[in-house]
Amino acid sequence: MAVAERLGQVPAEKLRNWVWQLEVCNACRYCEGYCAVFPALERRRTFTLADIDYLANLCFDCRACYYACMFAPPHEFGVNIPQMLSEVRRETYARYALPAVFTRLLASNWLAVSGLLLLSALFFLAVVAATGDPGRLFEAHVGPGAFYRVIPYALMSGPALVLSLVGLVLLVGGGVRFWWRTRGSVADYVSLGALLRAASDALGLRYLTGGGAGGCTYPGERPSFARFVLHHLVFWGFISAFVATTAAYIQQDFLGWYPPYPWLSVPVITGSLGGIAMIVGCAGLLYLKGRSDREPADAGLLRMDTLFLGLLLLINVTGLALLLLRETPAMGSLLVLHLATVFALYFVLPYSKFAHFVYRYAALVQNRLEERREAARAGH
């Protein structure tokens, strides 16, 4: 099992400390009302690295357990579950991604991502230069097909399609590896009930509510729904933008209506609503992260979160600027800039914080399956 060995590379002393903390939890159990992690922990008497990977991705980092813990530092027991699980989560993003080295290279490295941005921008500038008069970059274009007079459609959508498909395959691959390793079996997928309940847990951000405590203890020890609301804005903003892209694709390729689309059209309305939601959500989350308590945090994961949110913010700001200034001579430059950020994001997607939904969903499904097995046992 070469893969299993490679996935299991964690220094023995570190693993011992993680297991110790989880055993303190298991002997206490005061936190079992907060989220799914603690009931899942109570189903186990011993903890392997695979168990810890699973628990880490079941954790939404609400931090309630840290502030409620009598044994948190500076207590000599040194229990800091959110920090430990954040560290493990960051590690799982690297260990399960394909190829893993890209996560370590791209996930939290602004220099590498800036390089990617620059390369993408150079690519589109080269496209402009190679497909006609470069001066058109600085002229106003209006009417159907205006954008494609700056960057030809095939060169805009072709690479994007390839990158996103490859990204999707890599994400699914990581998820399958994770599922296999954390004791799931293929047969488990058959449970539609578990898949649906886990989807509802994920879409409802069930574990960012503090189990009825009035939100998660974030950025400080007072419960708040701020993070819950902002995360919803980012997610549903993303979905809205996806709807916009799909609608634009249908309008162009099936109905033959070429962009730019009027203000009162499905792509523009859903796109701009989604964009605004993501801008507010990303900016808000970045603000909260800036103010957040560093004690229960993992510095590496914080950098990873910040980079992904920053990139997403940049895309939406450039996208919205493009929409507002699409009839001015600034359109060409903004289009290049926007496309460069989109390409950079597509490239880092499987190695960024974006990947968290794959592992989290897999963990939520596993949790629902375990709950069902436990209930079945209790029923007999």
- Dist. CA 243–CA 44, nearest whole Å: 42
Instruction: At 31, list the tokens.
Output: 């936190």
User: From the CB of 201, what's the least distance to another protein, in Å?
Assistant: 17
| Cβ atoms of residues 316 and 117 within 8 Å | no
Q: Given the complex with another protein, which of 64 and 113 has the nearer CB atom?
A: 64
Q: How far apart are the first and last CA of the chain?
A: 37
User: From the CB of 284, what's the least distance to another protein, in Å?
Assistant: 22
Please count the residues of the chain: 380
User: From the CB of 78, what's the least distance to another protein, in Å?
Assistant: 12
User: From the CB of 92, what's the least distance to another protein, in Å?
Assistant: 25
- Give the residues lining the site for another protein (CB under 8 A): 23-24, 26-34, 42, 45, 64-65, 67-72, 74-77, 210-214, 221-222
The 3-state DSSP class for residue 224 equals: strand
The 3-state DSSP class for residue 3 equals: helix
The 3-state DSSP class for residue 216 equals: strand
Q: Given the complex with another protein, which of 76 and 133 has the nearer CB atom?
A: 76
Q: Given the complex with another protein, which of 77 and 235 has the nearer CB atom?
A: 77
Q: Given the complex with another protein, which of 221 and 253 has the nearer CB atom?
A: 221
The 3-state DSSP class for residue 60 equals: coil
Nearest to 312 by CA among 292, 330, 286, 335: 286
User: From the CB of 122, what's the least distance to another protein, in Å?
Assistant: 52
Instruction: At 92, list the tokens.
Output: 């799982």
Q: Given the complex with another protein, which of 67 and 235 has the nearer CB atom?
A: 67
